[in-house]
Copies of this chain bind each other. A is one copy, B any other.
Amino acid sequence: MTFVRNAWYVAALPAEVDEGLLSRKLLNDPIVLYRQPDGTCAALLDLCPHRFAPLSMGIIKDGNVQCPYHGLEFDGTGRCVLNPHGSGARPSALDVRSFPVVERDGLIWIWCGEKGAADPNAIPDYSCRISPERRTVGGHAPIDCNYRLLVDNLMDLSHAQFVHRANAQSDAFDRVRREVVVSDGSIQNLMMYPEGSPTTFVAKFLDSGNKPVDLWNDIKWNAVSSMLNFIAFAVSGTPKEQSLNSMGTHIVTPETETTCHYFFGASRNFAVDDPAVDDAFRAWQRQALIQEDKPIVEAVEAMRPVVQRYGLRPAMLACDEAAVRVGREIDRLERAEAA
Contact = CB atoms under 8 A, between A and B. Distances in A.
As for how many copies of this chain the complex holds, the number is: 3
Contact of A319 (B70, B158, B159, B299): B70
B303 A83 contact: no
A67 B156 CA distance: 15
A233 to B, nearest CB: 22
Contact of A317 (B54, B86, B163, B316): B86
Given A67-B162, A159-B70, A162-B67, A53 B299 contact: yes
A317 B162 contact: no
A152 interface: yes
Interface in A42-82: 47, 49-54, 57, 66-71
A69 B163 contact: yes
Contacts of A306: 28-30, 47
A91 B317 CA distance: 10
Given A30-B306, A307-B47, A307-B52, A94 B315 contact: yes
Contacts of A15: none
A302 B70 CA distance: 18
Contact of A50 (B51, B68, B314): B314
A315 B94 CA distance: 6
A90 B93 CA distance: 61
A204 interface: no
A319 B162 contact: no
B52 A312 contact: yes
B49 A312 contact: yes
Contacts of A84: 174
A87 B50 contact: no
Nearest to A162: B71
Interface of A: 28-30, 47, 49-54, 57, 66-71, 83-87, 89, 91, 93-94, 152, 156, 158-159, 161-163, 174, 295-296, 299-300, 302-303, 306-307, 309, 312, 314-319
Given A53-B296, A85-B158, A94-B315, 15 more contacts: A51-B152, A51-B314, A52-B307, A53-B299, A57-B299, A68-B162, A70-B159, A70-B162, A71-B161, A85-B317, A85-B319, A86-B318, A86-B319, A87-B318, A89-B318
18 contacts: A30-B306, A47-B303, A47-B312, A51-B314, A52-B312, A53-B299, A54-B300, A54-B302, A57-B295, A66-B162, A69-B159, A69-B163, A69-B296, A70-B159, A70-B162, A70-B319, A71-B161, A87-B318
